[in-house]
Structure 1
Amino acid sequence: MIVQKFGGTSVDGPQRIRNVVKHILAARQRGYRVVVVVSAPGDMTDDLLAQARELNPDPNRRELDVLLSTGEQISIALVAMALEAAGQPALSLTGLQAGIYTDGAHGKARILRVDPERVLEGLDEGRVVVVAGFQGVDPEQDITTLGRGGADLTAVALAAALNAEACEIFTDVDGVYTADPRIVPNARRLDAITHAEMLELASLGAQVMQARSIEYAMRLGVDLRVRSSLVDGPGTWIRRDAYVDHIPVVTGVTCDRKTAKITVIDMPDRPGAAWELFSAVADRQVNVDLIIQSASRNGTVDLTFTVPEDEFAAAREAAEAAARSLGASGISTDTNIAKVSVVGAGMMNTPGVAARIFGALGQAGINIDLIGCSEIKVSCVVAREKAEAAVRVLHDAFNLGEEAAG
């Protein structure tokens, strides 16, 4: 058994839906029982959201979930009809009918459990079961939506509950690349990558999959395969045992332009000051990424941190309030930055990776503002206008391109 997920681009119109049917039938011909998860067609979710906000600038979240869940219901019906027309019996199911049970956090619900009884019944009848992604039902039987990347989450959850062999994510790209091919023309498609590496790439700006779904797959032990819905190809496997003989030092380079920097100036250098600042930021539901603190001078420090650009306004307000409460001189901000990151499972056991990164950027005249590290990644904050150049420089520095691979 496999689970196949198709995004909004893949089901945007009759011709693309027919193409989706070809992928499904190909899996059936290989002997698989198939569960399909689909998103709303094209930009329908955004269009519905715009209509809601035109009528009510601050719509009730419960009602918004009822509205936004309709896009996927259109997709499941159309895909099931197309399968039937091709001679393949099919069964369309909403999130509720498929047994996707969530908490009550409308707009960003968390999957609590999956009861796939109705899905299994459909499979036992020889049908392809087509499930609406992005949605579930809470303990009050109210419709919920799972937030950004929700259809991927649905697919991973079903794959785990059904003990599927794999979860195939069909999208408009043919796999995971060593860098964005629009920035690095000789970027190379990867045959396989670990969940941990893909999670880092996704959280650092790579847009193939959302980080939440990868984290979920890693926790549940679900193998993922990213493939193109538009052309045939092997795609990229995301799995725990991605490497058998050789673990690459660096797998990919990515860039996140949607980041901003805040510095609290002359903050008192005393116990509890950082807690007070970041508690205020956390109270505004802001995720903090990189943090750096200057050396103490005259009993004060400058503390700099980065946040997602769409959370910048809330973070700035929280930082301003905390700075006043702490008696700091004030804050400074910078939204003209980007975070460029190098990711690889092999770097934890390889000396000199950071030096190679800093040397390559230095030779290219690209200044590093902030640095953050984990076992398998090094991130550098640079001026936004230097971001693409930095990606190309680092991609070349680690010989990740097609020519080097060949």
Structure 2
Amino acid sequence: MRQQRWGKVKVIGLVLLTYVFAKFQGGFASWFLFYCSLVFLVYEALAYALLFSTLEVVRLVDRNRLRDGDDVIVTIRLRRRIWFPLGWNMVMEPLPDRLAGVYEPHRQLIFPWFKREVEFRYVIPNLPRGYYRLGDCVVSGGDFFGFMERRKAFALSDEFLVYPSLQKVERWVLGDGSFSGNVHVSHRRSDDVAAVRGVREYQRGDRLSQIHWRATARGTGLKTKEFEHQAMNQAMFFLDVEKASYQKLPDSLFETAVKLTASLIACANRNQYHYGLVYKQAERVSIAPGLSHGHFLTVFDQLARVMPQGTDSFARVVGREALEQPPGVTLIVVTPSVQKELLGRLIALAQKGRRLQLFLVYAEPVLSPEQKKALQLLSTVKVSCTSIHIDDREWKRIGGA
């Protein structure tokens, strides 16, 4: 503001000075200087008025869904509707809140001169999992001579998600072995009319023999028979996001829990089994079991956003949400802590005949005696327990007996 105010004073002072000089001195040279200063004044006035009034700023992000560790390329395009020679522009791009202090905000000095459109790119490297938002773009500009400088924030908003990285799970034994890595189950109960337990919406890949023609004839779209083995091959994931569970533990432990959940879900999706996700952060997130490309993106969108900031007890979340799941659904619990309350909830569910798998992520070199005792107690009630260390690099065979 100070430079802008003094710039106006200097320009006006220059015109007044040349006018006074021409009045007292007279002659061609004196008046020539005065008219030149008038031209200079007109240019400064036009540059001030047209600097931002004709400027459009466009931001483009090359992808809105990335994988943990990927780089994002951001393109900034400055376009002017009216041609006019201007001096310079300084573009300052903001950083998402999660990256503040990690990288410096990007600054780019541009000399547009006689160009109506200028474009540049920059890279935000090695992004960790999460949700990111790029806010307003701040553009500064001035004339050739340094008498005038202005700044304006252009209201832009761009969002992108960084999905957790995956490890390939080649064999995941789920209870009766239905997640064995084979797409087709060994039995043919789907051909038995008595095995039909309900109907659901038609999904791409369903066989013609599975279509429920009577339900379809009611005019609500194609319906597919849902068989008993399909219900057995459904899994609901319970991810522990309670803040207290991760206190005094490495930050990467939660990332391990999310990465494990994502890898198991990718395995389920690859083997064409239905899966869902439940967690309670600030708000309850409950995604019913499903199987489609859109469902996969919906689940992974939540896995990209989730953070260990929940305030509700994870044990109560499991106990409450498990009651809403059909008996045939296998409950998958991913947590870094098996406290007494959660242990009691899992034992009670197992005694009611619910199929359960517990994945315990830990950061210590070995499991504590309390953790080992809890896992042994759960195993006695037929809860499948698997411990995953934070530094484990291969999860090819996990779960089951």
Q: TM-score range by the shorter chain?
A: under 0.3
**Bigger Rg, structure 1 or 2:** 2
